[in-house]
Structure 1
C-alpha cells in the first residue's frame, strides 16, 4: 500500500497528523507493506525567504485570536507527544525544505525522507530553527542520514526545483486545498490530522478494498474525510490548515 501525504513544513496540523498516522500505522497488521511518501504543499507560497517571528506574522494576519489558535494546537500537541514553541518559531518560505525532502526520497528512500520530515517539523515548531536557511537545512539533512556535502551542493543550486514545482502544481490539480491530505493508493483521500483510530480504520478499509479489487482499476474516491473548521485564507483550524 502506498500512502502519499501532502503537507507543509509550516503547518502545525501536518505535525500532529504525522504523529497520529504513525500511531495508527504501528497498530496496523500490514505495516510492513505500507510505503509512506511525503509530497510538497505550501500554505504561503509567497512567504519571504528571510525569517521573521511567527507570533508577529500571525497576529498581523488574524489579530488577537492568533494567540488562542496557537494555544489550542499547543495543548493538542501535548497529548500526542508533540512540542510546539510558537514564541521561538519563525515564519519563512518552505520551498527549500521541500526541495530537500525531494532529494531525500529520490536518493535515499522513503524512510530517510520521513526522518527528515520529522526533523524539519521539530526544528520549525519546537526549536526555533530557520528552515529557510541553507546551512541549517544542511545540518538537518546530515542528521537524517543524507551526505552533508551532497545536501550543501544540492541546496546551493536549483536542482530539484522544477520537480518540486511540478508536484506543487499536481496538488493544485488534484484539488487539494487543505493539509495534511493523505492519499491512499492514488484513489482514496483523507483530509486533516485525524485521530489515530480514524487512520487505523482507513488503513484497514483500504487494505480490504485493494485485496478485493486486485488487478482492476478504479476512480478516485474518499474513504473518510474531514472538512477544516476554518475558512480564512491560510487558517489552521481543527484538523487542517487551509488556503
Structure 2
C-alpha cells in the first residue's frame, strides 16, 4: 500500500496529521508495511525567498497576533492529543519552504523523506528554528543520515526546485487546496488532519480490493 502525503513543513495541522496517520497505521496493523511518500505543497508559494518576519506574517495572514493566538490555542489543544508540545512563541520567522521541500525530495532517494519531514516539523514548531536557512537544513540532513556536503551543494543550486513547483501545481489541479491530504493508492483521499479512525474504512477498502485481485 502506498500513501502520498501532500504537506507543508510550516503547517501545524500537517504535523498533527502525521501523528494521526501513524496511529492509524498502528491500529490497522500496517506499521512498517506501507510506503509513505511525502509530496510538496506550499501554503505560501509567493513567500519571499528569505521568508518573512513572524509578526508581519501573522498580521498579513490572520489580521494580527490576537486572532493568531486564538487559532494557535486551538491547535495547541489538538497537539496535546498526539504529544506535540507546540511552541509557537519561539517562531520568529516564517520561511519560504521550497528549500525544505527540495531537501525532502533529496532525502526520498534514500528512503529518508519521512525522517526529514519529522525533524523539519520538530525544528520549526518545537524549537522555532528557521527551516528556510541552508545551515539549519544541512544540520537536519546530517541528523537523518544524509551527507551534509551533498546537501549544502544541493541547496546552493536549484536542483529539485522545478519538481517541487510541479508537484504543488499538480496538487492544486487535483483540487487540493489545503493540507494535509493523504492519497491512498492514488485513488482514495483522507483530507485534513482527521482522527486515526477516519483512515480505517479506506485501508479496509484497499485491502479488500487487494484480496479480490489476488483471488481473480
TM over 0.5: yes
Once residues 196 and 55 of structure 1 are traced to their aligned partners in structure 2, the CA distance between those partners, rounded to angstroms, is 34
Once residues 208 and 22 of structure 2 are traced to their aligned partners in structure 1, the CA distance between those partners, rounded to angstroms, is 20
Once residues 173 and 51 of structure 1 are traced to their aligned partners in structure 2, the CA distance between those partners, rounded to angstroms, is 26
The corresponding residue for 1:105 is 108
Once residues 53 and 125 of structure 2 are traced to their aligned partners in structure 1, the CA distance between those partners, rounded to angstroms, is 12
CA drift at 1:23: 1.0
Q: Deviations over 1:169-208 (max 9, x none)?
A: 2112212111101001101111000101222332223222
The corresponding residue for 1:79 is 81
Q: 1:91 aligns with which of 69, 78, 94?
A: 94
1:204-215 equivalent positions in 2, closer than 5 A: 204-213=204-213
Classify 1:162/1:215 alpha carbon distance in 2 versus 1 (closer, same or farther; 3 Å).
Answer: farther
The corresponding residue for 1:160 is 160
Q: 8 Å contact 1:54–1:86 — kept in the other structure?
A: no
Aligned to 2:75, the other structure's residue is in SS state helix
TM-score (norm 1): 0.82
Q: 8 Å contact 1:53–1:88 — kept in the other structure?
A: no
Q: 1:70 aligns with which of 69, 72, 97?
A: 72
Once residues 21 and 147 of structure 1 are traced to their aligned partners in structure 2, the CA distance between those partners, rounded to angstroms, is 29
Q: Deviations over 1:114-150 (max 9, x none)?
A: 0100000111111111011001100001111111111
Classify 1:175/1:214 alpha carbon distance in 2 versus 1 (closer, same or farther; 3 Å).
Answer: farther
CA drift at 1:83: 1.9
The corresponding residue for 1:26 is 26
CA drift at 1:30: 3.6
The corresponding residue for 2:41 is 41
Aligned to 2:88, the other structure's residue is in SS state coil
Aligned to 1:179, the other structure's residue is in SS state coil
The corresponding residue for 1:126 is 126
**Runs of 4 or more consecutive aligned structure 1 residues displaced over 6 Å after TM superposition:** none
Paired residue total: 213
Relative contact order higher in (CA < 8 Å, ≥ 6 apart): 2
CA drift at 1:214: 5.7
Once residues 60 and 168 of structure 1 are traced to their aligned partners in structure 2, the CA distance between those partners, rounded to angstroms, is 22
1:129-144 equivalent positions in 2, closer than 5 A: 129-144=129-144
Once residues 204 and 31 of structure 1 are traced to their aligned partners in structure 2, the CA distance between those partners, rounded to angstroms, is 15
Aligned to 1:80, the other structure's residue is in SS state coil
TM-score (norm 2): 0.92
